[in-house]
Structure formats: C-alpha cells, structure tokens
C-alpha cells in the first residue's frame, strides 16, 4: 500500500492487532528486512513497516536528504494512517530516524527500540559516508555490496547461511543509487549526541557484539545519554543483528514491550 506523506509517496504494510508498533529499516534495505519478525509481533501488536524515502517501493527524490526530513516523513505517515502513538523500533538509519522523531514529536512515541545505530558520527565516519554516496552515484550498488555484507554479517553467518546472505545481497543491490546516496548524506549530517537527555520515551538499545559500524561503545553512549535506557548486547552478531540473531532480538523486543512500555 502507498500513501502521500510529507510530499513523498511512501510504501507501507500493516499486520496484526493491538497497540501500534512501527519498524524502520536500515540504509540499503526495505521493509522486507523485518519479514521474519512479523508473525510473532503481529500476535500482540499492529505492526507498521514502511520503506524509507528513496528505498524499496517508496518514491525516490533527489538528495541530499536529512534525518530530520526522514523523521518528518515518518511522522506524516503516522498522521496519514491516523496513528496517534506508536512503539518505534529502528535499525541503523531507522534508529537515527527513531531518535529524531522522539525529539521532534515526542507525543507520537510510546517507546523506542534502537538497534545497531548511532546518535551521531565523528568526522572520519562522516567522510566514509560521503565517499559511499559518491561511489553509489558513480558506479552503482555493485561497487559497495561486498564491503557492506562484511560489515553487516559475521563471517560465520555468511559461510553457514548462504541463502539468507544472498537474499540480503540482492535486496541491497536493488536499492536506488540516488536513494542510497542521499540517505548516506542524511546520516553524514546527523548528530543529536548532546540532545540524548531530552528523549523521554522508555528506550531499549540493542547492539551486535561484533558490530563494526556502530559498535558497543556507540550503543553505550546512547544508553548512557537517554534517561533510564537499557542496553543489551546481542551475542555473535555484526551490524545486521536482526538477521543473524532473530530469536534473540524477538525475545528482547517482546520482553521490553511487555514489561517496560505502556501499551497505549
């Protein structure tokens, strides 16, 4: 399904019943990255997944984008679907959007689940994002896919879960080059580290034990900065921990949502 929100056509899917739970995907992916989580979560929540601007079946607009813009997209989507409040879980770029939305529209957020994400990039990492945007526009996603999979997935997973790895590879390769590049530029300019203390929503921070992109130290900074936030390290996982440790992440989400978040 599609809806116009914040001047862009956004593709989304809704499953289940109960309080709203919104799932946001990482850079270079789409809403299908959450497919394996939907059956369990939809038993207790109305699960909203959506393709970020420039990704999946959502509209590709010319960049650069900003995280504020992507958060405004999410807020407009919630308004278009008449969703007053939602639990919001985001991976990597989706986690950046979640944090920004919690700052810009706190009344819309019941709780936050921030997975393998950051609150801001240091200059060297920002420069790397800029370089990836240049590579994508010049040569396409094929020039980035191998390095991405190395960061996203542990060697063990890539060796033993070849079919799942190939699905992730193909999803990345089909991402719009402009959407990817413009989103890299959004992340490049993202930094809310000094504002973490303003986030009031109950928050769970999850991070892969071997995440090289947003490592445990980065997750700890977020958890230390948001009042009352909890940090859980996901064993034997890299940046795309939701693919490598589905059962662990599903249990962590369910435990947090059931125990620590108001089901409004």
Residue-wise pLDDT for 193-232, tens only, equals 999 999 999 999 999 999 999 999 999 999 999 999 999 9
Estimate to the nearest angstrom the gap between the alpha carbon of 80 and the chain centroid: 21
Average pLDDT, the chain: 97
pLDDT at 190 over 70: yes
Q: Phi and psi for 61 in degrees, rounded to 5?
A: -110, 155
Q: How many domains, in total, are found in the chain?
A: 1
pLDDT (tens digit, 9 = 90+) per residue, 69-103? 999 999 999 999 999 999 999 999 999 999 999 99
Under 8 Å between Cβ of 204 and 113: yes
CATH of the domain at 227: 3.40.50.1820
pLDDT at 262: 46
pLDDT (tens digit, 9 = 90+) per residue, 152-181? 999 999 999 999 999 999 999 999 999 999
Range of the domain at 59: 2-260
Closest C-alpha to 12, from 24, 2, 26 = 2
The two tokens of residue 206 are: 């999850």
Spatial separation of the C-alpha atoms in residues 90 and 228, rounded to whole Å = 18
DSSP secondary structure letter of residue 198: G
pLDDT at 68: 98
Spatial separation of the C-alpha atoms in residues 227 and 164, rounded to whole Å = 37
Q: Among all chains, which residue has been given the structure tokens 């620590």? A: 260
């Amino acid at each position: 399904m599609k809806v116009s929100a914040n001047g862009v056509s956004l593709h989304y899917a809704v499953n289940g019943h109960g309080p709203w739970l919104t799932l946001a995907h990482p850079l270079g992916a789409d809403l299908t990255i959450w497919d394996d989580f939907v059956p369990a979560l939809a038993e207790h929540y109305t699960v909203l997944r959506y393709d970020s601007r420039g990704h999946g079946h959502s509209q590709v607009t010319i960049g650069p984008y900003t995280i504020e813009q992507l958060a405004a997209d999410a807020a407009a989507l919630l308004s278009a679907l008449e969703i007053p409040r939602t639990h919001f879980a985001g991976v990597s770029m989706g986690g950046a959007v979640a944090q920004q939305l919690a700052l810009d529209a706190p009344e819309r957020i019941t709780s936050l689940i921030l997975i393998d994400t950051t609150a801001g990039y240091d200059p060297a990492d920002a420069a790397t994002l800029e370089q990836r945007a240049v590579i994508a526009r010049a040569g396409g996603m094929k020039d980035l896919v191998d390095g991405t999979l190395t960061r996203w997935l542990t060697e063990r997973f890539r060796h033993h879960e070849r079919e799942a790895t190939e699905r992730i590879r193909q999803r990345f390769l089909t991402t719009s080059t402009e959407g990817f590049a413009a989103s890299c530029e959004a992340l490049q300019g993202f930094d809310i580290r000094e504002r973490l203390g303003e986030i009031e929503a109950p928050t769970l921070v999850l991070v892969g034990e071997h995440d090289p992109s947003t490592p445990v130290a980065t997750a700890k900074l977020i958890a230390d900065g948001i009042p009352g936030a909890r940090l859980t390290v996901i064993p034997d996982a890299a940046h795309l921990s939701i693919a490598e440790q589905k059962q662990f992440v599903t249990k962590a989400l369910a435990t947090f949502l059931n125990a620590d978040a108001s089901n409004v």
